[in-house]
Amino acid sequence: MYNFISHENWQRPYPTFDELLINEDKEVTVLRNILFFYAEQKTKISNIRENFTEHAINKLIHDKFIKIHD
């Protein structure tokens, strides 16, 4: 059920913002409840950045808590 617990995910490095090229207007869907946001909420990456550091956002993306739309 949780993708972030498996040994396979421990081996992969976290993506960096330089690799993802995320700008402030990108749409984000929250896949699971996280602090200040509820599941299935649609928001912008700028709102996520107000509450989380870049390192924390990288982990949220990697662990499939949020999904960034192209």
Predicted TM-score of the model (pTM): 0.66
Contact 39, 33 (CB under 8 A): yes
How many domains are there within the chain? 1
Query: d(Cα 3, Cα 62) in Å, to the nearest integer?
Result: 9
Per the structure, the complete domain to which residue 36 belongs is given by 3-68
Q: Over its length of 70 residues, how does the chain's per-residue pLDDT go in tens digits?
A: 455 555 555 555 655 555 555 677 889 999 999 999 999 999 999 999 999 988 898 889 889 999 988 7
